[in-house]
Amino acid sequence: MKKLLLTAVSAALLWGQNPNAESLLNEFKTQGGGPFDAKRGEAAWMQENLIKGEKMSCVTCHGKDLTQGGKHYTSGEAIDPMAPSVTKTRFSDLKHTRKWFKRNCKEVYGRECTPQEKGDFMLFILSK
């Protein structure tokens, strides 16, 4: 019970400023995902895949430290930090989030991510 309460409190803290994020996580749950795990999300964030002969991972463009900005690996265009604590607009537009999950999973994994994977990524990002 105590553990459950703690989980609920930390979840509220995590998502308190991101009601949108919570609704997207619920969407992933209805699609068969969950429970989600930030650690698994972090490992997947670092995982390198060989795509079109190049080693790709989320880090390639977003970097390892989510509180820092990233840089697109070919164009050099700046990417705002993924951490919601820094970039307050993260998950404020779910159409935007869905669009970029689709594009970036294909770029880095060569396929769309599963609802489970997307939820894990989100918990990792929300923890920053």
Partner 1 sequence: MTRTLIILTLLSTSLLADWSDLFERKNGIEPVTNAAYNKACGDCHFPYQPGWLPARSWQKMMEPKELEDHFGDNAEMEEEERLEMLKFLVDHSAETSSYKRSKKILASIKEAESPLRISQTRYLERKHEEIPEKLIKQEKVKSLAHCNRCHEGADKGNFDDDDVVIPNYGRWDR
Phi, psi of 54 (to 5 degrees): -125, 140
Q: Is residue 72 involved in binding partner 1 (CB under 8 A)?
A: yes
Which stretch, 4-12, 26-34, 36-44, 97-105, contacts partner 1 (CB under 8 A)?
97-105
Length of the chain in terms of residues written: 128
> Could you tell me which stretch among 4-12, 36-44, 72-80, 119-127 binds partner 1 (CB under 8 A)?
72-80
Q: CA–CA separation, 36 vs 33, rounded Å?
A: 7
Q: Is the dihedral of CA 42, 36, 99, 21 positive or negative?
A: negative
Q: Which is nearer to partner 1, 88 or 102 (CB)?
A: 102
Using CB under 8 A as the criterion, which residues of the chain lie in contact with partner 1 when the complex forms?
A: 72, 74-77, 95, 99, 102-104, 106-107
